[in-house]
Chain A
């Protein structure tokens, strides 16, 4: 596919890197030469220096032959204008990143579409929704829904209290009922393992499990994690994510929100009627103590500054808060934060990229996902008639190493793959694989 990405910031950079390695033709437009250089040296792309709202530059980038234009600069107006112009100049589909809930609301969606913007993403809102999911399933470190939750990928930390510690997958299968989930990937140190029967759970592993809707409970039971009962929670940072998260949570939970900017705090107090807004610096330990951080069940740090988020979360963890969620958009920090004991990370750009990837069709792949820190491909394949994958049961397929056909969706219902599963035409299969064997996996679906 020919794709133009406007904006080489965090989201654009990540998208360009992810997509260019998958045989897409990526052209990137940005005003900042340094950003362009950085993106260009990390991925195989063509770049244009200039404004994406310039018709001349869009034409130079051959927008008329483009399948998808993704406008993800930090400026909402630029993004919408870019999308509209691109569409009028002949781009087949356009996506614009916005920072305003008004645009994404159902009543205005049609109007926006009629202008030529096919899809709007609002990463901060997506991030807030993910935080809410993590609060509801507090034992999980990550929850990523596939096909609106028919299957979910759940991340779990293996600590000393996990009963299956040091057991192999095979031993676990013998002792427990594991029909509703499947261990799909293990992140250990800097390494990503796609497990087979002989792999063990080790201390500090970050395990990713694919489950059906009902399977999450079973997973938690086996790893000995019961959902922590959360009632009181504290949000640090009243930016877009914090604000939206508080709004989504304040009806069911007791929410405190700390914001350092007084004007913003007043505005927040106006918007969030049930949340207690506290004006102050979240790094101030006295303030946190005063607001009884010790009694909190969850601590969510979503300031603009990743370092602040990491440090305050560690502090909260140290003081005994059961669940911490930190927004860390800098992927370089991800491996580090896992080792020092943060529970869950929210990465705005990964979330945005995962959503955008649904629009990017590669032969029979419906979508691809990135999980924080995990160096494995998570792909949703569409099973076409007569392809090799439909010919035999999974155990007879002679699949290569380092691939797990985790689960599948058949007639709108999610299932976990077992050895005797035989795929049928129109199934959607969720595959976990290390990047280097994707080509082999592809051949089964073609």
Chain B
């Protein structure tokens, strides 16, 4: 029996959170004299009221959350957050189409950063703030946030945590899931705060600084400017954002350790090393390429290359230069980078560096195993041998990922996109990146995609954010068998 009551109880809580968070933008609207104050107040209050009623009616539910409830809560939770989160855009009329508003909000919560807005600066500040806030909530995960706030019984909390933060490695930094959630959010808030300060020092105004800090730390990529970060020509601001995208793409348990002056886990972490290596390798290659093409200084070549590479690999999606103008070789490189993803336990999306690392290791060892058929050659990661179960799990993940990418691409061409745009849009949605290639490149947006395509892409974003399995499990018959 699935305990539906506790599912509704939790969804009620999420709606309260959703409604309250929405109203955080009101002070900015008041300050800038925008016309969305009533919209935010009305939407925020009614959503949190609906949430409260649901929560209250189910408050005596048995708080026993098992595996199945965990997956359902997380999937439904993400769906309703995006559905209700879209309401202020529709009510205000700045995004009149339900499809567009849902796409924009889902792109926000999943920290994809793909936008259908043609004129971002025309949006009222309160709604822009809410748009960035969705990314910030989705980055570390609002389910994890709820775990830190709600007194959920131990094991149930873990089912929810595992469903929202999957990944091949488990990094509990505290024995209790609730304390782990608190610490993760604590680090997230701290880093966001530091970034706001640095952006202010760099000359951004408070509104832009907060918005960009939110969307950087979430590896989201929404900007309050039509030109994204290219709008801010200050190298300092761009370097600050590079740094924080890099930090956000790291495993947050590593932040926890170095903040506690424990540098060993950071030094030892192979994923972190590989993540840094990939960024440096791609950035160097592209910087050299840019420099050789001419018309560009060394510093600018390095900065442009580094910014774009970090932005795509961490799945943020900020842009300071249009890589589509650089030539087809760079084109191909950036398309490849859509499939890398951040580190496990980061706010980044995509396949995740650790999965690539373990698969590469396993494949390389397979050659040795062929030479020595009877040898026991385990895959080693961070000085521990990795069990076969994990390797199989990663293989299944990658296979699903590729299958979904291929199927998605074909479906999108059916919807009417050209082949490269279809590939780009699917890869970028599934990887929660934002910009891609061709018709959805850095200087384009998603407004021109047909409605049905937007729904499909929204679904792919959610699929990617919850790392496939959480949602795929719900579609598997064995999940519903008694």
Interface flags for A99-117 (1: CB within 8 Å of B; 0: not) read 0000000000000000000
**Is the CB of B34 closer than 8 A to any CB of chain A?**
no
**Is the CB of A81 closer than 8 A to any CB of chain B?**
no
Contact B387 A33 (CB under 8 A): yes
B379-427 contacts to A, CB under 8 A, are 384, 387
**Is the CB of A43 closer than 8 A to any CB of chain B?**
yes
Q: How far is the CA of A46 from the CA of B183 in the complex (A)?
A: 15
Contacts A26-B175, A27-B175 given; does A43 touch B154 at CB 8 Å:
yes
Partner of A25, one of B153, B158, B179: B179
Residues in A neighbouring B172, C-beta threshold 8 A? 46
**Is the CB of B44 closer than 8 A to any CB of chain A?**
no
Partner of B62, one of A20, A21, A23, A436: A436
A26-79 contacts to B, CB under 8 A, are 26-27, 33, 42-46, 49
B173-194 contacts to A, CB under 8 A, are 174-177, 179
Q: How far is the CA of A42 from the CA of B67 in the complex (A)?
A: 11
Q: How far is the CA of A43 from the CA of B156 in the complex (A)?
A: 9
In the complex, residue of chain B having the shortest beta-carbon distance to the beta carbon of A435? B153
Contact B177 A44 (CB under 8 A): yes
Q: How far is the CA of A33 from the CA of B386 in the complex (A)?
A: 11
Residues in B neighbouring A46, C-beta threshold 8 A? 172, 174-175
Q: How far is the CB of A4 from chain B (nearest CB, A)?
A: 9
Partner of A44, one of B63, B176, B384, B387: B176
Chain B contact-residue range equals 10 to 19
Contact B155 A44 (CB under 8 A): yes
Q: How far is the CB of A37 from chain B (nearest CB, A)?
A: 9
Contacts A21-B154, A33-B387 given; does A45 touch B62 at CB 8 Å:
no
**Is the CB of B88 closer than 8 A to any CB of chain A?**
no
Contact A44 B62 (CB under 8 A): no
Q: How far is the CA of A45 from the CA of B158 in the complex (A)?
A: 10
Partner of B157, one of A33, A44, A49: A44
Contact B387 A43 (CB under 8 A): no
Q: How far is the CB of A118 from chain B (nearest CB, A)?
A: 22
Q: How far is the CA of A444 from the CA of B176 in the complex (A)?
A: 26
Q: How far is the CB of B387 from chain A (nearest CB, A)?
A: 7
Contacts A33-B387, A436-B62 given; does A25 touch B155 at CB 8 Å:
no
Q: How far is the CA of A43 from the CA of B159 in the complex (A)?
A: 10
Q: How far is the CB of B391 from chain A (nearest CB, A)?
A: 14
Interface flags for B52-74 (1: CB within 8 Å of A; 0: not) read 00000000001100000000000
Contact A45 B175 (CB under 8 A): yes
Interface flags for B158-178 (1: CB within 8 Å of A; 0: not) read 100000000000001011110
In the complex, residue of chain B having the shortest beta-carbon distance to the beta carbon of A17? B155
Partner of A49, one of B154, B158, B384: B384
Interface centre among B63, B175, B384, B387 (most CB of A within 10 A): B175
Interface flags for B220-260 (1: CB within 8 Å of A; 0: not) read 00000000000000000000000000000000000000000
Q: How far is the CA of A220 from the CA of B174 in the complex (A)?
A: 49
In the complex, residue of chain B having the shortest beta-carbon distance to the beta carbon of A49? B384
In the complex, residue of chain B having the shortest beta-carbon distance to the beta carbon of A439? B151
Interface centre among B63, B154, B155, B172 (most CB of A within 10 A): B154
Residues in B neighbouring A27, C-beta threshold 8 A? 175
Contacts A49-B384, A436-B62 given; does A43 touch B155 at CB 8 Å:
yes
Q: How far is the CA of A27 from the CA of B153 in the complex (A)?
A: 17
Q: How far is the CA of A49 from the CA of B63 in the complex (A)?
A: 30
Residues in B neighbouring A2, C-beta threshold 8 A? 175
Q: How far is the CA of A23 from the CA of B153 in the complex (A)?
A: 9
In the complex, residue of chain A having the shortest beta-carbon distance to the beta carbon of B170? A40
Q: How far is the CA of A33 from the CA of B175 in the complex (A)?
A: 17
Contacts A49-B384, A436-B62 given; does A20 touch B154 at CB 8 Å:
yes
Q: How far is the CA of A339 from the CA of B272 in the complex (A)?
A: 56
Contact B175 A42 (CB under 8 A): no
Residues in B neighbouring A44, C-beta threshold 8 A? 154-155, 157-158, 175-177
A387-421 contacts to B, CB under 8 A, are none
In the complex, residue of chain A having the shortest beta-carbon distance to the beta carbon of B180? A46
Q: How far is the CA of A321 from the CA of B174 in the complex (A)?
A: 52
Q: How far is the CA of A49 from the CA of B170 in the complex (A)?
A: 13
Q: How far is the CB of B178 from chain A (nearest CB, A)?
A: 8
Q: How far is the CB of B9 from chain A (nearest CB, A)?
A: 14
Contact A21 B174 (CB under 8 A): no
Residues in B neighbouring A45, C-beta threshold 8 A? 175
Q: How far is the CA of A43 from the CA of B153 in the complex (A)?
A: 10
Partner of A21, one of B155, B175, B179: B155
B273-310 contacts to A, CB under 8 A, are none
Contact B175 A25 (CB under 8 A): yes
Interface centre among A25, A27, A42, A44 (most CB of B within 10 A): A44
Residues in B neighbouring A23, C-beta threshold 8 A? 176
Contact A25 B174 (CB under 8 A): yes
Contacts A42-B155, A44-B158 given; does A25 touch B176 at CB 8 Å:
yes
Residues in B neighbouring A21, C-beta threshold 8 A? 153-155
Q: How far is the CA of A21 from the CA of B152 in the complex (A)?
A: 10
Q: How far is the CA of A436 from the CA of B176 in the complex (A)?
A: 19
Q: How far is the CA of A26 from the CA of B384 in the complex (A)?
A: 22
Q: How far is the CA of A45 from the CA of B176 in the complex (A)?
A: 6
Residues in A neighbouring B387, C-beta threshold 8 A? 33
Residues in B neighbouring A436, C-beta threshold 8 A? 62-63
Q: How far is the CA of A44 from the CA of B158 in the complex (A)?
A: 7
Q: How far is the CA of A353 from the CA of B176 in the complex (A)?
A: 20
Q: How far is the CA of A436 from the CA of B153 in the complex (A)?
A: 10
In the complex, residue of chain B having the shortest beta-carbon distance to the beta carbon of A33? B387
Q: How far is the CA of A43 from the CA of B174 in the complex (A)?
A: 13
Interface centre among A20, A43, A49 (most CB of B within 10 A): A20
Q: How far is the CA of A54 from the CA of B380 in the complex (A)?
A: 20
In the complex, residue of chain B having the shortest beta-carbon distance to the beta carbon of A3? B175
Residues in A neighbouring B63, C-beta threshold 8 A? 436
Q: How far is the CA of A23 from the CA of B179 in the complex (A)?
A: 10
Residues in B neighbouring A42, C-beta threshold 8 A? 155
In the complex, residue of chain A having the shortest beta-carbon distance to the beta carbon of B154? A44
Interface centre among B155, B172, B179, B387 (most CB of A within 10 A): B155
Q: How far is the CA of A42 from the CA of B153 in the complex (A)?
A: 12
Q: How far is the CB of A79 from chain B (nearest CB, A)?
A: 21
In the complex, residue of chain B having the shortest beta-carbon distance to the beta carbon of A61? B175
Residues in A neighbouring B175, C-beta threshold 8 A? 2, 20, 25-27, 44-46
Q: How far is the CB of A35 from chain B (nearest CB, A)?
A: 14
Q: How far is the CA of A154 from the CA of B103 in the complex (A)?
A: 63
Q: How far is the CA of A415 from the CA of B153 in the complex (A)?
A: 34
List residues of chain B with CB under 8 Å of any chain A CB.
62-63, 153-155, 157-158, 172, 174-177, 179, 384, 387
Give me 29 A-to-B residue pairs in the complex whose CB atoms sit less than 8 angstroms apart, sorted by A's number.
A2-B175, A20-B154, A21-B153, A21-B154, A21-B155, A23-B176, A25-B174, A25-B175, A25-B176, A25-B179, A26-B175, A27-B175, A33-B387, A42-B155, A43-B154, A43-B155, A44-B154, A44-B155, A44-B158, A44-B175, A44-B176, A44-B177, A45-B175, A46-B172, A46-B174, A46-B175, A49-B384, A436-B62, A436-B63
List residues of chain A with CB under 8 Å of any chain B CB.
2, 20-21, 23, 25-27, 33, 42-46, 49, 436
| Beyond known contacts A33-B387, A44-B175: 4 more, CB 8 A cutoff | A2-B175, A26-B175, A44-B158, A44-B177
Q: What 7 A-B pairs have minimum CB-CB distances, sorted nearest first?
A: A44-B154, A46-B175, A25-B175, A46-B172, A44-B177, A20-B154, A26-B175
